[in-house]
Amino acid sequence: MIVVENIFKSFGNETVLDDISVTFEKGKTNLIIGRSGSGKTVLMKSIVGLIEVDSGAIYFDGRDFIHMSLKEKQELRKEMGMLFQGAALFDSLTVEENVIFPLQMFTDKSHEEKIERVNFCLKRVNLENVNRLFPAELSGGMKKRVAIARAIVQNPKYLFCDEPNSGLDPKTALVIDDLISEITHEYNITTIVNTHDMNSVMEIGEKVVFIYEGLKCWEGTKDDVLISDNTYLNDFVFASNLAKKIRDLQPKQGN
Amino acid sequence: MIVNFGRYLILMYRVFSKPEKFRIYFRETIREIENLGLNSIGIVIIISIFIGAVITLQTRYNLESSWIPLYLIGLTARDTILLEFSSTMVGLILAGKVGSNIASEIGHMRITEQIDALEMMGINSASYLILPKMVAAMFFNPFLTVISMVVGIFGGWIAAIVTGALSSADYIYGVQYWFIPFYITYALVKTVVYAFIITSVSAYYGYYVQGGALEVGRASTKGVVYSSILILLTDVILTQLMLA
Ligand SMILES: Nc1ncnc2c1ncn2[C@@H]1O[C@H](COP(=O)(O)OP(=O)(O)OP(=O)(O)O)[C@@H](O)[C@H]1O
Ligand SMILES: [Mg+2]
C-alpha cells in the first residue's frame, strides 16, 4: 500500500500537483487517469522520488519515503519496478542485457539462473528471439514490452507503469493490461498505472484516480466511472464520439 | 558560477561514494579504457608527429644563421614537447574529443530517462556512469602522453632529415643533451589532473541536462569549453608549483 498525503509540486509559478492525497491499495491495479499535461507523470515521479515534492508525505507500507536518506531510498527502490513513458531502455545494451541488468547488479545467482529468469520475463510480455537485438532495432511497442520485462525481473513489491500501452495496437495493449493485472494479483503487489486510455480503465481499473489540472478531481472504481456525475470526468470519459453514442444507446441508470 | 560549483561538488561526492558491485565497475572501467583511451591513440599520434615536425622546423628557421649550435634545436623541440605539448596540447585535444563524447552520452541518457531508470533500480547513477570514465581516463591518459612524447620527438627527427634543416646526428645529440627527467614527471602529473578535469566537468554538464537534443548539444559544448579553460588555468598553477 502506498499512501500519498497532501503533496504539492510547482515548476516556477506553475502548480502541477495541487494538494493530492490518495491511497494506492495493495493487490490492486490503481489507475491514475487524466488528460495529457494534467500531471500524471509528475505525480508518479514524485511518488518514487525522481521529482522532489515541495511538501507532503509519502508512505510505502508505512515507511516514510520523503524523510529517508539517499541510501535508504536506494534500498527501497530495489523493491520497485518502473516502466517509463518512453521505455528508457539502455541503448548501448541488448534486450537481454537490459533485462538482466538489475539482476547482475544486485543478485549473486548463477548466470544460467539469471538467463532463465530473463527469458521467463520476456516470454510473459510475448517477446521471444529478440534477446540479441538492440533497442534501436525494436518497434515502439516492443520497447515498451522489454521495459516491462525489465521492471518485473526482480519481483518488485511496487510496480509503476507510465502509459504502458500508449503507442500499442488495441490487441497488444490488452495483452499488456492483462499482464499487469495478472502480475499484480499473482504476487499481491501495489501497482500504479498512468493512462489516458479508456479501454485500460474498463479492463483493469480496480481503483481509478482522476487528475484534472493537478487536482485530484475524482476517485472510484471502473464501474463508477461511467455513471459518475462529475462533469470533468464525464468530459474525459466521453470525449470520443463512439463513447458518446454508446452512452446514449444505454437506458439511463439512476445516479 | 557558485551554484554550478556547489552542484559539481555534490555530484563528485555521489560519484566517489562506495560502488555497488566492484566487479561491474571494473568491467565498465575496462570498457571505458577502450572507448576513451585506445580510441584516442590514433589522433594523438597524428597530431604529435606533425607538431613535433613543426616545432623543429620553426625553431630551426628562427635561428637561421645565428651562432647557436644546431643541436640545441633538438633540445628545444624535446623540451617543448615534454613540458607543454604532450601534456597540455594533448589535454586540450582530448577535452574536445573525450569531453564532448562524455557530455553527449550522459546528456542523452538524462533526457531519455535512462538515468532515472538506473536510479529506480536503486543504483547510484552518478557513480555508475561517471566513476569508470574518470578512472579510465586518469589511468590511461598518461600512456597517451608518453606516446605523444615519443612520436613528437620522432616527428621532429623526420622533419629534420627530410628538409635537411639539420643533420640527424645534431638532432639526436640535442634530444639527449641536458635531459631533465623531472620534466616527464611534471607532464604526467599534469596529464592526470587534466584527465580528472575533462571527465568530471563534461560529465557534470551532461548529467544535469534538462530539455531535449538541443540542450544536449549545448551541454557538450559547455563541457569542452569549461574543461579547456580549467586545463589552462591548472597549467599555470601546476607550473608555478612544480617548476618554480
Ligand atoms: N521538469 C519540468 N519542468 C517544468 N514543467 C514541467 C516539468 N515536468 C512537467 N512539467 C509540466 O507539468 C505538467 C504536467 O506534466 P505531466 O508530464 O505530468 O503530464 P501527463 O499527465 O503525464 O501528460 P501525458 O499524458 O501527455 O504524459 C505539464 O504542464 C508540464 O508542462
Ligand atoms: Mg505523462
How many Cβ contacts (< 8 angstroms) between chains A and B?
A: 52
pLDDT for A136 equals 96
Is residue B99 a part of any domain in this protein? yes
Q: How many CB atoms lie within 10 A of CB B232?
A: 12
**pLDDT per residue as tens digits for the range B214-235:** 999 999 999 999 999 999 999 9
Closest residue CA from atom 31 of ligand 1:
A37
Q: How far is CA B168 from CA A86, B47, B171, in A?
A: 63, 22, 5
A72, amino acid identity: E
Report yes or no: A81 and A152 within 8 Å, Cβ to Cβ: yes
Q: How many domains does chain B have?
A: 1
pLDDT for A32 equals 96
Report the residue from B20, B109, B117 with minimal CB separation from A84.
B117
Between strands A29-33 and A207-212, the pairing is parallel
Closest residue CA from atom 7 of ligand 1:
A11
Chain B residues in contact with A42 by the CB 8 A cut-off are none
> Is A182's pLDDT higher than 80?
yes
Is residue B8 a part of any domain in this protein? no
Does an H or E element contain B214, and which? helix B213-243
Contact B112 A88 (CB under 8 A): yes
- The stretch B110-118 carries a mean pLDDT of 96
Closest residue CA from atom 28 of ligand 1:
A37
Report the residue from B20, B114, B119 with minimal CB separation from A90.
B114
Average pLDDT, chain A: 91
Residue B175 lies in domain: 20-243
Does an H or E element contain A46, and which? helix A40-47
Is residue B11 a part of any domain in this protein? no
Q: Which three cell numbers stand for residue B216?
A: 544536449
Report the residue from B20, B24, B114 with minimal CB separation from A88.
B114
B199, amino acid identity: T
Is residue B36 a part of any domain in this protein? yes
Contact B114 A89 (CB under 8 A): yes
Burial of A17 (0-12, 13-18, 19+ CB in 10 A): buried
Does an H or E element contain B31, and which? helix B22-32
Answer whether A90 touches B (CB < 8 Å): yes
ipTM of the complex: 0.91
Between strands A190-195 and A80-83, the pairing is unpaired
Answer whether B113 touches A (CB < 8 Å): yes
Give me ligand 1 centre to Cα A43, in Å. Answer: 9
Band of residue B65 on the pLDDT scale cut at 50, 70, 90: low
Band of residue B193 on the pLDDT scale cut at 50, 70, 90: very high
Could you tell me which residue, B66 or A252, shows the higher pLDDT? B66
Is residue B1 a part of any domain in this protein? no
Per-window interface: B 19-48 vs A, CB < 8 A? 20-21, 24
**pLDDT per residue as tens digits for the range B34-56:** 999 999 999 999 999 999 999 99
Burial of A220 (0-12, 13-18, 19+ CB in 10 A): middle
Calculate how close chain A gets to B12, using CA atoms only, in Å.
15
Is residue B10 a part of any domain in this protein? no
Q: What is the DSSP string of B136-150?
A: HHHHHHHHHHHHHHH
> Is A48's pLDDT higher than 80?
yes
Suggest the residue from B16, B22, B120 to mutate for an interface test with chain A (most A CBs closer than 10 A): B120
Q: How many CB atoms lie within 10 A of CB B129?
A: 23
pLDDT for A251 equals 66
Answer whether B215 touches A (CB < 8 Å): no
Q: Which three cell numbers stand for residue B128?
A: 555508475
Nearest ligand to the CA of A38 is: 1
Closest residue CA from atom 26 of ligand 1:
A36
Q: Where does A125-240 have alpha helices with state H?
A: 140-152, 170-187, 198-204, 222-225, 231-237
List Cβ neighbours of A91 (8 Å cut-off, separation of 6 or more): A134, A135, A136, B112, B114
Chain A residues in contact with B32 by the CB 8 A cut-off are none
With CA atoms as reference, report the closest residue to A161 among A143, A147, A140.
Answer: A147
pLDDT for B64 equals 75
Q: How far is CA A218 from CA A224, A230, A233, in A?
A: 10, 8, 7
Chain B residues in contact with A74 by the CB 8 A cut-off are 122-124
Nearest chain B residue to A153, by CA: B121
Is residue B53 a part of any domain in this protein? yes
Is residue B179 a part of any domain in this protein? yes
